[in-house]
A and B are shown apart, each in its own frame.
Chain A
Amino acid sequence: MTNDQIKHAVLQIIAVIAPDEDLSHVKSDVALRDQLELDSMDFLDIVMELRKRYGVEVPEGDYGQLASLDSCVIYLAPKLKDK
Chain B
Amino acid sequence: MAQTHYDVIIIGAGMSGMAAGIRLAYFDKSVCVLERHYAAGGLNSFYALDGHQFDVGLHAMTNYVRPGTRGAPLTKIFRQLRLTPEDFGLAPQHHSEVRFPGKTLRFNNDFRCFVQDVVDNFPAQADHFVRLVKHIQEYDELDLEAPPRSGRAVVSSFLSDPLLTDMIFCPLMIYGNAQERDMEFGQFVVMFKSIFCEGLGRPREGVRRIITALRRKLREVGGTVRMKCGVQALNAEGTRITSVTLDTGEILTANTILSSAGYVETMRLCGTDHATLAPMEGRLSFVEIISILDQPMKHLGHDATIIFYNTGKEFHYETPKNLVDARSGVICCPDNFLFDKPLPESMIRLTCLANFDGWNALDEPAYLRAKTEWLPKIQQEVLHFIPDFRHHVVYTDFFTPRTIQKWTGHLNGAVYGAPEKLKTGKTPIENLFICGTDQGFLGIVGAMLSGISMANLHVLKRAHAR
- Residues of A near any B CB (own CB < 8 A): 16-20, 37, 39, 41-42, 44-45, 47-48, 51-52, 57, 59-60
The answer to whether A16 and B71 touch (CB under 8 A), given A44-B460, A48-B460, is no
B103 at the interface (CB under 8 A from A): no
Question: Could you tell me the dominant secondary structure of chain A's interface residues?
Answer: helix
Instruction: Tell me which residues from 449 to 465 in chain B have a Cβ below 8 Å from any Cβ of chain A.
Output: 452, 456, 460-461, 464-465
The answer to whether A44 and B456 touch (CB under 8 A), given A16-B82, A17-B79, is yes
Residues from chain B with a CB closer than 8 A to the CB of A39 are 71, 76
The answer to whether A37 and B70 touch (CB under 8 A), given A20-B75, A44-B456, A48-B27, is yes
Complex Cα distance, B67 from A67, in Å, reads 27
CB distance from A45 to the nearest CB of B (A): 7
B101 at the interface (CB under 8 A from A): no
Within 8 Å by CB of A37, from B28, B71, B80, B464, lies B71
Residues from chain B with a CB closer than 8 A to the CB of A51 are 27, 464
The answer to whether A19 and B84 touch (CB under 8 A), given A44-B456, A60-B464, A60-B465, is yes
Inter-chain contact B71/A41, CB cutoff 8 Å: no
Complex Cα distance, B140 from A39, in Å, reads 14
Residues from chain A with a CB closer than 8 A to the CB of B84 are 19
Can you name 20 A-B pairs with beta carbons within 8 Å? Answer: A16-B82, A17-B79, A20-B67, A20-B68, A20-B70, A20-B75, A20-B79, A37-B70, A37-B71, A39-B71, A41-B76, A41-B456, A44-B461, A45-B79, A48-B464, A51-B464, A52-B27, A59-B465, A60-B461, A60-B465
* Contact digits for B433-461, partner A, Cβ 8 Å, 1 yes 0 no: 00000000000000000001000100011
Residues from chain A with a CB closer than 8 A to the CB of B460 are 44, 48
Residues from chain A with a CB closer than 8 A to the CB of B28 are 52
> Which 5 A-B residue pairs are closest in the complex by CB-CB distance?
A37-B70, A20-B68, A48-B27, A17-B79, A18-B79
Inter-chain contact A45/B80, CB cutoff 8 Å: yes
Residues from chain B with a CB closer than 8 A to the CB of A18 are 79
